[in-house]
Structure 1
Amino acid sequence: MDKQEEQFVKAYAPATVANVCCGFDVLGFALDAPGDEVWARKKETPGILISAVTGVEGLSADPTLNVIGVVAQKMLTDLNLEHGLELQLHKGMPVGSGLGSSAASSAAAAFAVNALLGNPFTTQELVVYAMEGERLASGSAHADNVAPSLLGGFVLVRGYDPLDVIPLGVPLDLYASVLYPQIELKTSLSRSILKQEIPLKKGIKQWGNLAGLMAGLLMKDYGLIRRSLHDEIFEPERSVLIPLFKQVKDAALKAGALGCGISGSGPSIFALSPSAEVAHDIKNAMEKVYAGSGIETKSYVSKVPEQGVRLVEQSIYQTV
């Protein structure tokens, strides 16, 4: 039999924290872990085949109903390629946690397929394709999770028409402590309770906090970051959906957090700090609040990384 060369790639994309208190729908940052992996290889026949979904139950292998299939198909279509792709998804992070689960899958798929095809797109250009996964998952093609998962560090989404994504990097050492209470909190519910109008006084405070947070990051000013990590508008409404939120936030701040808030739509709660030691102290303090509550939790400590998505395996092998 003839020898046939066959190439595959595997990409890892990390979880993310979106909103970041005062940055509702416009700001996010990457974590080191947890994250998702997508494996990809070319196949001669057209179309997308998802041959495996592991790590979580209930996700469809139908490429029109799974974010990795939608992302990959959009890329093939735009490049006018006739061959197909075989994909596999390994979920390394919880679904519905508020940590950008669908975004991590979408980002990993976009990056893996791009590498397999010879990198026709820059990583920043892949944001548009990963957003198609978000459109499928939530009905809205938003970028505040997929952009930091792809680009790493902090990312500001200035606008969508046209898309204007601004990587801020990680100008100073920042660590995230994340507590995930394992309760069901649908994004649709979390968004439905938000008021559509904002009082001018609160709006002014929020804009000042967001500007202060941006300045604090770029000026490497931990004090300014601490003063700015406050959500005047959305947290008071959303926090009632998360049991023990106020107690967790108080414990995190007491343990040395620069700020603490809801990750994405929740229920995960994040806190930022300037060192790994403080971050672990914060994690322990947050966990103690839930001890004995009857609610199981998962916790993570991660440095905010400069790099987001990355290849973890790329091989050309031969079969006989």
Structure 2
Amino acid sequence: MSDDLEPIGPAEAMELYLDHREPELSAKTLENHRYRLRSFVSFCEEEGIENLNALTGRDLHKYRVWRRNGDGERYSEISKVTLNGNLQTLRKFLEFCASIDGVEQGMRERVLIPELEDEEISKDVMLDEDRAHEILDHLDRFRYASRPHVILSLLWHTGMRLGSLRALDVDDFDFDAKCLDLCHRPESETPLKNKHAAERSIAVGEYHVEMLEAYIENNRHDVVDDYGRRPLITSAQGRLTESPIRRICYKWTLPCEIGECPHDEDPTTCEWRRKDNRPDCPSSRSPHGIRRGSITKHLREGAPRDVVSDRMNVTQDVLERHYDETTSRERMEIRREFVPDV
């Protein structure tokens, strides 16, 4: 242990790190960092590490194994993607700790990060276009302009993020211009992931204009949030939070919700039908899976990459590496429309 270090406990160091990162991170990302570092603090408590000055590379290896096994086997084994995210955050945390003389310089380099394959990075399977149309057709017929109809329709049609959908106000819907205006409003708890760079207007068609009008008129709860704003997606209590939106997506993408189960399960007894287990169904999809499917649909229909990049607020590099599910042959056929064979 270096004589230049100043004693500091894991929990105290975590709070200092989070305070340090708060100005530059979104509230959601900051909460993710807190969640990941809590595991490390719990590990230190179990191992009797009360002062980070004494932290060693062997401790970090033991934590890596402990976390991979689900916090000492208290929970199920976590995926390589989840472990990767935890260790990346731990590296940043240790870099900060070194800057305040809490750990030895270079301690972050002793955190070994597992390499991920492309399919592991893009693990959130996209919603297939045919399934999306089946779900939306069903909602159009039986639940027109309901909250689930609006949520699924907007996520699929615009490809926007969950946080962007939640941030929308009634006043962000421009009926005359047929568009939705996305605004970064961190001061009233509706930040956009990429902050002001994510602000944009998204065009919607006549069908979605009429659906939104019907929803606002008949099914939206007439409420304001804590900041006096009129949220678009609501519950009786105010602006709908992210968790209920996720639950709606998982529920309506269950194949047995509007059709037959492809997994030979009986819907009357299937554990995946239970609210907390819906994400475990191999065929259910998260809001991000819907976004990936929407982006891929736009690309397959020949939309230029720069247009998709602007509309979905994603860089073209990330678009190609993590979202574009088109095959090389499909991309060739799209190019053929712009560069005919000679």
TM-score (norm 1): 0.27
Higher relative contact order (CA 8 A, sep 6+): 1
Structure (1 or 2) with the larger CA radius of gyration: 2
Higher helix residue share: 2
Higher strand residue share: 1
